[in-house]
Chains A and B, each alone.
Chain A
Amino acid sequence: MTHLQEQYDDLEQQHEAAKLGMWAFLATEVLFFGGLILAYLVYRYLFPEAFRQGSKEMEVAFGCINTAVLLTSSLFMALAVQAAKVGKGKTVRRLLVLTALLGAVFLGLKSLEYRNHIRDHKFPGAAFHSELPHAEQLELFYFIYFAATALHALHLTVGCAVVLVIAWRAGRGAYSADYHSPVEVTGLYWHFIDVVWIFLFPLFYLLGQAS
């Protein structure tokens, strides 16, 4: 069974193309999240008080645990890529299942957190309520928070699904030392989701905590 698609000359060219393709895709993702982060910075500059208040209302414990969970998942992902390079299919499967599991834990904790926000009437829109002055500025904070973290969660959900598919195929011996581009490319994507969270976590949870 050959893995070489007909448009390529050899496996190395195909592997290089796949990797560069994923990097280019991640560049588009940076710009995609970049718009949201720009909106965050503009409004943080315009409404510093409301945004400080927003950070204080965040449950830092949730954020910290989720950060640890996601970083650990990235460790398993990195190990899976290493195992794929030497062709250990069963190990790859085990590590990838662990990776997806931790991704699911992150999503579970995040949805608990969302539930608390909604319970506290912090979901933007008609139901939003805050006793504080400039409630509409605080609502903007929550709007950007929900938009950014939900977009991140969506990426993570897709990531979990892809990782599970790759894990299943790895278990069936689809990858070898010669051909493991799908594992490596999925790894790049997973680490990117992790890095996005590394930016979102301090922006929403930590800035403004100290004051």
Chain B
Amino acid sequence: MRNYLNEDYRLSSWLLTRDHKRIGLLFMLSITGFFVIGGLAATIIRLELMTPAGDVVTADTYNKLFTMHGVTMVWFFLIPSIPNVLGNFLIPMMIGARDLAFPRLNLASWYLFMLGGFVTVYALIRGGVDTGWTFYTPFSTMFSNTHVVPALLGVFIAGFSSILTGLNFIITIHKMRAPGLTWMRLPLFVWTIYATSIILVLATPVLACTVGLLLLERIFHVGIFDPKLGGDPLLFQHLFWFYSHPAVYIMILPGMGVTSELITCFSRKPLFGYRAVAYSSLAIAIIGFLVWGHHMFVSGQSVYAGMVFSFLSFLVSIPSAIKVFNWTATLYKGRITFHTPMLYALGFVGLFSIGGLTGLLLAALAIDVHVHDTYFVIAHFHYIMVGGMVSAYLGGIHFWWPKMSGRLYPESWGRFAAVLLFFGFNLTFFPQFILGYLGMPRRYHEYPPEFQVLNVMSSLGATILAAGYILPLFYLGWSLKYGRVAPANPWNATGLEWQTASPPITHNFEVMPEVTAGAYAYTEHTPLPLEVADDPFARAV
């Protein structure tokens, strides 16, 4: 049968495609590549930290490694991960449209992303940058002798990719919904992508402006951020975090959307408190714009500003907690099955909760002064970014894999990888909370000997975590050729994307759908998700 994958096999049909599904797959391939580069940098970092002495790389190389890790993971993996891969693939199908509103812009977004990615990664690998992913001034403008200009140029270019994609999603969700698909019937994944897109569209231009000013200062040696020349380095931090704190929510909101889809599907229940969960995404996006100053508690900004930012940061926990409580309430008395995507989703809820609660500690002024720039902060945001977002991304990839590829992946391998990732992750990052609380600062390649045990634990955990990442590459790849052919709706899930064939045709639907019910119309009569007959784990649970 004709579908979007086998319609045309020529390379040009991929490189010039306007099909949102193919562009989603292009993004998936590209960010996997960037993930490997960022992951290799992290591997060397963890190897260096096995021993207290700096014996694997020099301090300079170490600086370049953590910069490379941060820059690639933030801008070239996490930010585009769920929005550009799953968002691209799913949004038009979930709202019953033939494509995004602006397919050509969508393709342009991928090319801009690749151009930016190549420029930055080339700079990071060939010369290296030693400023950290935050590029703080005046170090980045006046003192660093590394490849700051090309690295930032790539980030600048990739920013326009973010803007185009966010804009495309907003217009599509506003204008292209199927008849009967009201806002309150939208899947929550669409709500979170909508909230994410608002951040992409409103925050990214500020990053572009900031990066532009930084580059001008570095090239013309004018002190817009350099205090020696009358500039104000705090202004850089304000502008940078005005983008980069909302960007943190770009890196978690879509994960929350995926989790909402997975938990309802594998509990066979409508989401508890749909309306509150939907609005909480918008609340996170809006309040997220007002909390950037909590990155600057020890920077010398005024104490009063610090107090206000602290208070506002506590406020973000309310909509976040609404989501966690409502996911838990959805599980209550649900008909739960522990398929691979569900394991990732449950992992997400637990790890996100730990990441979120430790965020409250960091939002408190006094505690933040104590743990600022320590491994406590590293552990906190990795619980959100990796434990949260990457778990959700992998959960989503598994959940929609039959739809993307038309094949079923081996369920027992999937479960094994999901559990491995959960344990590996905790072993890697939980010791870092303790290390940070005991006072180990971030960004040093040496440390006092008494920290070694915890660091070795963390490095061992990273090995397990790496295995958890690599396994899916193998069995998902294997399933493309040898996996069982997937039916249209293997999970017996609701949602428009499951009403079309797996894989779908190029314009998604043979007959354009009309919507008469909410996104999660699960009842006690809804059959359970497909049981995989040759899977011993499925029967055991």
B221 touches A35 (CB 8 A): no
Report the bound CA distance from A144 to B209 in whole Å.
Answer: 12
Interface residues of B in 417-434 (CB under 8 A from A): none
A7 touches B209 (CB 8 A): no
Interface residues of A in 28-61 (CB under 8 A from B): 28-36, 38-39, 42-43, 46-47
Chain B residue with Cβ nearest A50: B230
Chain A residue with Cβ nearest B239: A35
Partner of B103, one of A7, A36, A125, A143: A7
Segment from B24-32, B167-175, B311-319, B321-329 that makes contact with A = B167-175
A28 touches B229 (CB 8 A): no
Q: Which residues does chain B contribute within 8 Å of A134, judged by CB atoms?
A: 230
Give 6 nearest A-B pairs by CB, closest first: A35-B209, A32-B205, A7-B99, A31-B205, A125-B220, A124-B222
A-B pair number, CB within 8 angstroms: 109
Partner of A24, one of B167, B212, B229: B167
A27 touches B201 (CB 8 A): yes
Instruction: Place the interface of chain B in its size category.
Output: 35 or more
A140 touches B220 (CB 8 A): no
B224 touches A39 (CB 8 A): yes
Report the bound CA distance from A25 to B163 in whole Å.
Answer: 8
Decide if A65 is an interface residue (CB 8 Å cutoff): no
Which label, helix, strand, loop or mixed, suits the secondary structure of the A interface? helix
Chain A residue with Cβ nearest B235: A42
Decide if B204 is an interface residue (CB 8 Å cutoff): yes
- Number of A residues contacting the other chain (C-beta, 8 Å)? 38
B224 touches A34 (CB 8 A): no
Task: Write out, one digit per residue, whether chain A residues 131-146 have a CB within 8 A of any chain B CB (1) or not (0).
Answer: 0001011011001100
Decide if B370 is an interface residue (CB 8 Å cutoff): no
A17 touches B175 (CB 8 A): yes
B209 touches A21 (CB 8 A): no
Minimum CB–CB distance from A118 to chain B (whole Å) comes to 13
Q: List 6 A-B contacts (CB under 8 A).
A: A6-B99, A7-B98, A35-B205, A42-B232, A134-B230, A143-B216
Interface residues of B in 229-252 (CB under 8 A from A): 229-232, 235, 239
Contacts known (A21-B102, A35-B206); A136 close to B175, Cβ less than 8 A:
no
Report the bound CA distance from A5 to B235 in whole Å.
Answer: 45
Q: Which residues does chain A contribute within 8 Å of B204, judged by CB atoms?
A: 28
Report the bound CA distance from A28 to B162 in whole Å.
Answer: 11
Decide if A20 is an interface residue (CB 8 Å cutoff): yes
Contacts known (A32-B208, A36-B209); A144 close to B230, Cβ less than 8 A:
no
Minimum CB–CB distance from B206 to chain A (whole Å) comes to 5
Q: Which residues does chain B contribute within 8 Å of A211, judged by CB atoms?
A: none
